[in-house]
Amino acid sequence: MNDDGKISKREFRKALHVLGLHFTRWKAGHAMTQADHNHDHYIDGKEEVDKLIVWAKKLGLVRDG
């Protein structure tokens, strides 16, 4: 949301909130745990974005297709 090419937990929580989801703080934290492979507190790079997509699919936020 600040065009730095990375997704922070705060940015992801805000995006989940905009989608109308509940428990956004927990969901954003869980997503970071699952996707932040290098533990820099950001989702960045193709591998981490792919892991975030897998996480979102498990929650039904993204559909295949």
Per-10-residue mean pLDDT of the chain, 65 residues long, equals 89 94 94 95 95 91 76
Output the pTM of the full model.
0.82
Cα-based distances in Å from 28 to 20, 23, 53, 65: 14, 9, 13, 24
How confident is the model at residue 2, as a pLDDT?
Answer: 81
Identify whether the C-beta of residue 55 lies closer than 8 Å to the C-beta of residue 39: no
Residue-level pLDDT at 1: 67
Encode 3-29: b = buried (16+ Cβ within 10 Å), e = exposed: eeeebbbebbbeebeeeeeeebeebbe
